Amino acid sequence: MVSRTIVALLALCVASKALIRVPLHKHEHSRRSYKINMIAEYLKQKYVPGHVFGSELDYNEGLSDFANAQYYGPITIGNPPQEFQVLFDTGSSNLWVPCKGCPITNLACDFHKKFNCDASTTCTNTHEPFKIQYGSGSMDGEVVNDVVCFGKNRKDWCTDKTQGFACAKDEPGMAFVASKFDGILGMGWDTISVDKLSQPMDQIFANTAECPEPVFSFWLDRDENGKKGGEMTLCGIDNSHYTGEIAWEKLTKEDYWRLNLGGISIEGQQITGPTSSIVDTGTSLLAGPKDQVEKIQKLIGAFQILPGEYEIDCNKIPNMPNVEFTLGGQTFTLTPKDYVIEMTEMGESACISGFMGIDLSGNPNAPSGSLEMSSSESSTPSSTMARSALDSPSPPLAATKPFSLFCKLASNVINAFKKASVNDQRRCFWICKES
């Protein structure tokens, strides 16, 4: 399968010896992890200003399903180091982990590793209250300062002891109870950070002796049979994970990773024109305005089985149409293998559409006509998309307004983000490589 794409934020690939490497793990695909209508509700809460869930149950179920499709990896906090598995999320900007002292009745906290400030010689508890709203519930805790390190071993890849993060004492509902990760490490811009806490990446990138390029990237391994989920790198990109040249697209705003999407078409039929988009490592689905997604479902031959969930006859995949979109003046192609999610449960095969509709009516502040981007390999947050300089079009990484596509559906992919860049432009780049 041809699978090479770039959405770029980086002008220069750094020598691999300078890279900080963090192994990623992934959840298995299951029908449970793709309750699309619930995931759509969670994304609306995340990106549509003022959206409120009908019930806490709906929100927590959506968040749980959303979380179960994610990639996560290790960090350590404190001295001596305490290890945690965290979800690396470009759609948020705060680091939080569970902490010692949460009530025994809070199952999410009880079932995961808890940070113990008293056991760290470098920890300082500020006792400042901290809260992140999740639907009708919230994650409550306090701000703590300590050393945060990426990966498990390399001491040079750490912040100093003044790094602030949220020590969670109460996690909402049942959403995080069964998650494979302990906490979340946000990688969006500081402008959307709760309480304006800076990210650990900021300190890592400030250490130019160890980190010559302020870039982070995700390579998401699409091999369903492999145990490894991929790799996150900081301070550069492993060029063995991609093919071609890097192209550029500017960020339109520094909050989420916002880019401009030129348009989407199927067999020459235009679905939508230019629109804003968000790059989000948070979902493995293509999320977009409901009316536009329904057009796509009809044209690809998907049929609705539940509200918001569309199934596809697995036998028809070879004859389904390609979906094309434009970024930075380049055309990218998603083949049916890229946008159809195939899974097996209880010995039976099932195929569902990777496109997800979101109802944006009544939300004048919501971005319109765009895609939300998910990626497989990501480098530091920055603004630019690009396409590999190959003869064949690549399976895309999509941007969104709330239109979201996870390139991991397409193939082994690299998604890169950079915080400061050429000509003072904020840029972000994407790369897909043939598996």
Is the pLDDT at 320 greater than 50? The verdict is: yes
Annotated catalytic residue 182: no
Q: Where are the domains of the chain?
A: 20-216
Q: What does each C-alpha distance from 371 to 214, 286, 301, 311 come to in angstroms? A: 26, 7, 21, 21
pLDDT digits (tens, 9 = 90+) for 31-84: 444 455 555 555 655 665 554 444 443 433 333 334 445 678 899 999 999 999
pLDDT digits (tens, 9 = 90+) for 232-245: 888 877 777 766 55
Q: With pLDDT > 70 as the criterion, what percentage of the chain qualifies?
A: 58
Rounded to an integer, what distance in angstroms lies between the CA atom of residue 88 and that of residue 86?
Answer: 6
Question: Interhelix angle for 36-47 vs 56-67, to 10°?
Answer: 100
Contacts 24+ apart (CB under 8 A), 421-424: 421/9, 421/10, 421/11, 421/382, 421/384, 422/11
pLDDT band at 317 (very low <50, low <70, confident <90, very high): very high
Kindly name the residue from 146, 221, 238, 280 that is annotated as catalytic.
280
Rounded to an integer, what distance in angstroms lies between the CA atom of residue 141 and that of residue 171?
Answer: 9
Q: Fold for domain 20-216?
A: Cathepsin D, subunit A; domain 1 (2.40.70)
HEC secondary structure over 280-341? CCCCCCEEEEHHHHHHHHHHHCCEEEECCEEECCHHHHHHCCCEEEEECCEEEEECHHHHEE
Annotated catalytic residue 89: yes
Kindly name the residue from 89, 182, 221, 238 that is annotated as catalytic.
89
Please give the residue that has the higher pLDDT: either 59 or 143.
143
Is the pLDDT at 298 greater than 80? The verdict is: yes
